[in-house]
Structure 1
């Protein structure tokens, strides 16, 4: 969490940290000539400390002195500028090693992949572009170039993403750091193509590097990095790292010392000068429906700099804004038809034309007879208070606990507001059928979702935004004693919760019929083990002829689609599914599985 923002945006930053006269020979130059002179300056004095020397260097170069200021490793793939970090690493203690999930250990991330220069020295150990980062995220980033992600296939715990490119000029897979560190990444790559410009012709491009000394980058990647450099100016954390790297290695990153060098060499790509709108989104279609939600998907738009978001309109009015090519609109009325279109936007505020309009009709509501088991209106919560603490109360025979909660906000009269915490019920003895709740984002923040857990297992999610929204999750159907939790995974968003209720478990008839149907359909296939482990589904049976596999959550949203899923074996690798119940559809066969 960033305690004090210390961006250095003033033009007079030039040579503020460098020794007197360090850049004198570059004065008055521009373009390729300036790049060549800077290459000479930062090559002189460069001491190669070896690949293992990076571990020692990180103890001074990659220490968090500007966010938590706690002496932990400053990892650009896990640092959260606002809110608590998902995990922290102790320098020297948590080095990789091996890893399987985020938070296991940190290792050495080459911002320019080492495979592009065949792990050769001195590039392989140059601390100016090799960061201490989480091993798992480093592995997911692999050797992909940096760019604007459309639909993410992987998202780290601080929001860094891997997915398809929406950057103009490149349609492959790219990696996108969070906004806080986009400029950092750009300036590290600018350093690399300047320091090693004479070697670029012998390097592989990796769809990012150019083969000549100037400009040194492929056009599409250069445009991305110029935009990121302008979007995210030099920070105090970068200045600190540059100074420590100079002490360790003997040379400097000139684009941190003097940010104006970027535009003097490559020209400006200021978002404010961007007047080109993104292309119109195509292929908008309804991808899933429940009685209270409709899921949409569309093809990514393109832009000369990059698409930053998509605005989703329902019945002619703005409903939500997303940064991927999918959206789920919740809180709808059963058996009702809605119309949708989307508009692509870029960072400069340019908007595309409206996409084509599609219609979707929600499913009919459940006909199972059921009654409300729990109906919490929050009218008996503790006295109004703006401070955050653990709050407890009882109502209608159910006890409640809200952590990191305040009691002074309202939705439909009194409401409980949680920040980085959860709302949890005591035991309810008659199970749960469907759950309904009203949510609203208070103060500031961004749209998101609350995780809904029954007896500790995630069964769905509840969206929230600045508009009070009522959402129902149908067919949860857990019998016996249940404890229900709504969990806020954001450390900054403050979510008011009101009018929470759920129906009793609807009884055996519907469940038995559903189970019988499933057993009929899956007689030739079996998922084993179930619950699945290590994000991999193993299916027993004659699966080689299966043409398509689809994974749905319990709300009917498509989570993953794989064509010819079993061409290399009898398992499917899943994409970071959270705890809960899911449906695997193999052509026309469906099976349930659990993730714990």
Structure 2
């Protein structure tokens, strides 16, 4: 049996860990006002150490000092508080790497899935809600919300479960940690929706987040987390981790320091106390359409507490629920008329009256002609709120949803433009492939000339230069067929570059990414990294857990295997000697992970 340390006066003990006066400006506040003040407190001093910095953080933040106290990784998905752990991880040595079963390696678990905020900074690297956990269990949890499981389809070796939800108000798939860590999970999520409350309207809900600053969570999830917070008080392990996180990152989780904040903010907001419905949605219009989809946009509703989401109806039937003020309904038939309306919902489940209806007829079907414009974005419909600040911006135009991270909207080229700093511009999936791409760029303010990377389905297809002079560049012969997602990545973390008049032509031939190419090409591994890149001397150096990798394969972008190496790291220290390859872009597949590299 383990030595368990019990603390009775959690609030007093925890509060003593914060610097004197750290929360003084929050004194006397409650509800939404307290949440907003706490957001300001924990935003000040927050240092973004980058996604890779989490591995460094875990050397102090995620070490077991309260259960075995053995210096191993403190993993909430494998820790057994009252018995022997099924496996233990040594910091750095057992860092993922690849995994197939529990116990292979530990990686970085975003308690609030990074897909909900498009992997943007600083959220993607915030140690206060990103735990070191077993890779396999992390993968099984995926991006499902947390809740009470009915019938488990997966159970980890410490009893964490995945399965259907029996939590009131939600019937989808959920993940349930063991009782020992339910409060830990709740307080990390409370931290997230407080620290990033001003960004919630730009995030996806994931069936857990709200899109307003208060309450910041879906009603059903809020009720689950309030119950977990109350049944599992703050532990010494949380206090230790909070102090280490503060030393590393410069900000704290206030709900560990002062657990009473939870009920002061959300406890008095019982769903039954809110009976006022949101206002009726106005301004519903058709923003774009294709032969198989219709895109809609509308003006945000208002509510006495806050609008949580919108239900979109087509021909009288519910089609989708979104947290933003736009939606695309797909899977439609060509040359067919459809009618739409939208209703707003608040966190208590109150529903507005139906909006006015709009009708749209999808485009006619047929084969798209290669060489014609598939997508043309002029940025005239970009959001303009707080236009000079940098944040994540999303909008939909002509059936394409765009996401620009670390972006502002007040700069112009021909007219409106989107300006990206330390981020990217990314499209949603577009049919009919891509032949060539054309875009206009211009460096704004100070900085130096540079380039954007252009990625098609996650694979680099070329670069776009920029300078202080507005210039239009075309990349020819990209030639990728099928559904494509286009991303423009800023190679600089400080240059502010405006983008305007982006378009690409259709391509209906045989694309570069054939079926023989590795399926993981479209989603590169974040746990392994090639350095330097471009490579030199026909040698690939790989950072990360490599000793257990059984097979390496090198593909060109046409999907042809160029070289196969068994046990590639058996007789080396993180490097692979390769055959002479010509200049270009290649994919290195290591078991189930894929990495892009360049030979110049």
TM-score (norm 2): 0.44
Answer with 1 or 2: which has the greater Rg. Answer: 1
